[in-house]
Chains A and B, each alone.
Chain A
Amino acid sequence: MDEFLQFLFSGLTRGSIYALVGIGFAMIYNASHVINFAQGEFVMLGGMVTVYLALTAGIMPVVVAIPVAIAVTALVGLGLQKFAIEPAQSRPGGASVVTIIIITIGASIFVRGVVEVSLGKRDFVLPSFSGNEPIDVFGATLTPQSLWIFGVLAVVVTALKWFFDRTRLGKAMLATSHNRLAAQLVGIDVRTTLLVSFGVAAALGALAGVLTAPITLTRYDVGIMLGLKGFAAAILGGIGNPFGAVAGGLTLGIAEAMAGGYVSSAYQDAVAFVIILAVLFFRPTGLFGGPGVERV
């Protein structure tokens, strides 16, 4: 039982990170039907920029470095939409989905390459936010960093709910996702809406990166796996549904921790991808996606 609880905590911790990354995938997909393969690099940037500002260069305390890193990453997200995706889409005839997917892949290789060249290939450590004194819960232990992660995820989910239900911008985003042309016709500034979705997705990715850096270390290439896991979370939840992505992320995290604990730690990383295949085979709309209807 203690063992089970321990795996559960570990699964919820990593699942919350996947959830935050997955929300980013869902938001961008929602607004523009683009699968943003650079999402993982936003996660990496969050951790790496924080470490660089606070420790390597040492020009500001960690509490300041974190929001700065998130802001920097959000700017990179805006830049991706503004300077790479928008120019391709505004060409006569528009751009195919394959074209956009490849642009985001190019952006991810580019961002990773820039960090690799400027900060190097070694591991970086960010100290835990409130120490490493483990908390005993029914015989299992929970680190304070895990509590931070759970807390932040809860705040983000609440804020998103409010954003989509109560704000004009959130509603505009939902409208754009349902029908871009109709949204434009009723006076929604689709371009701004897309920009915001990239900015928010990048900021959430960076937040995930900052939160997980004290647990897993961080380096220039952590974004590849975390991005792919977040993507799996988004697919599992029914791509395009941010709250589905949260459920997908938590499910994935727990499945990984249980598989790693009870079955085989060597194949822990494969769980996410087996789940992707299973979802595509048996339930392509994801666990929480409605039946999709596509217009001709």
Chain B
Amino acid sequence: MSEGRSRWGGLVALAAVVAVLPLLLPNNFYFDVAVKIGLNAIVCVGLNLLIGYAGQISLGHAGFFALGAYASALLTRRLGVPAPLAMLAGATGVGVLAFVVARPILRLRGHYLAMATLGLGIIISIVLNRELDITGGPDGTTVPAFALGEWRITQLRDWYWIVGGGLLFTVWLSLNVIDSGVGRALRALHGSEIAATTIGIDTARYKARIFVVSAVVASIAGSLFAHAERFVTPIEAGFLRSIELVTMVVLGGMASTFGAVVGAAILTALPQALAGFHDYKHVMLGAILIGVMIFMPRGLVPTLSEMLGWRSR
């Protein structure tokens, strides 16, 4: 199983990058970008399980991210709930919501989940924008620092280590899911759903389960985001944010856990690096999406690793 070994080797390599990177980051601005990359990567690793392994697409994951963020923001700020409990409450709520929506819809064949998540994401975004008294509306809301008893996490550098650790944990989790029975079942149904059904795999149940996992991961990342940035706006829930997340997964490589991390890193860092070209951000995003889909539909990481493997042989 050389493939399996290279996967775990990848985890070690990622851990090394996370450990060394702070030595190269000159100031807080770069730490902020790194934290954002890490959070996007966590969401994308979860989303990749859904897109790459369950063969379903979600156009509303930003909604789950934002629900997590707002649950943490509002519960800690308005009700004084301890931050870890608020995060747990958000994740639980999102998990239940995802299950309730996905279970009946995933029984249908085809890409109905994309439509349902699209609708759900936009409804979440509209509610966050309109419920001024609760959410603060389009202006957003401030978020208290993450506090565990006396210990308050306020430094971006501390957040870097928390998000870095969270990313490694999520990647480890994802690799485990892929190598587990669930992962094999998912790969089977991606190949041929009918064949998978005939050998007794309850395809709808596996798809719903992986959808719930990816939604909960997004919610937790949203909670961390809220406390790290100390501010959330409904833009986080927007349709375009959901598209951006899907783009990251697709660019890095569907069905590649590390591809999701690479995609998140590139698309989070690129607009910062090209700050002067800010106006062209969308033109470039669109062109990248089309180009990748036409010329390397499997994404950067799988395509490049195949090329390198072919050369070394």
Contact = CB atoms under 8 A, between A and B. Distances in A.
A105 B115 CA distance: 13
A105 B108 contact: no
Interface residues of B, number: 45
Contacts of A235: 115
Contacts of B288: 106
A280 to B, nearest CB: 5
A224 B239 contact: yes
Nearest to A232: B119
B246 A102 contact: yes
B123 A105 contact: no
Given A109-B285, A110-B282, A224-B239, A284 B108 contact: yes
Given A110-B283, A111-B286, A281-B104, A101 B111 contact: yes
Nearest to A38: B286
B130 A228 contact: no
B122 A273 contact: yes
Nearest to B298: A99
Contact of B57 (A88, A101, A103, A273): A101
A116 interface: yes
Given A270-B123, A280-B112, A284-B112, A228 B118 contact: yes
Interface string A124-152: 00000000000000000000000000000
Contacts of A117: 279-280, 283
A35 interface: yes
Nearest to B56: A98
A277 B104 contact: no
A113 B104 contact: no
A88 B293 contact: yes
Main secondary structure of the interface of A (DSSP, over half): helix
Interface string B86-105: 00000000000000010011
B297 interface: yes
A110 B287 contact: yes
Contacts of B115: 35, 231, 235, 276, 280
Given A97-B111, A105-B246, A106-B290, A269 B285 contact: no
Those 4 A-B pairs whose CB atoms lie nearest each other, nearest first: A110-B286, A106-B289, A113-B282, A113-B283
Interface of A: 35, 84, 87-88, 91, 95-99, 101-103, 105-114, 116-117, 224, 228, 231-232, 235, 266-267, 269-270, 272-274, 276-277, 280-281, 284, 294, 296
22 contacts: A35-B115, A87-B294, A98-B51, A98-B55, A98-B111, A101-B114, A102-B293, A103-B293, A105-B247, A106-B247, A106-B290, A109-B243, A110-B282, A110-B286, A110-B287, A116-B282, A117-B283, A266-B130, A269-B126, A273-B118, A274-B123, A284-B112
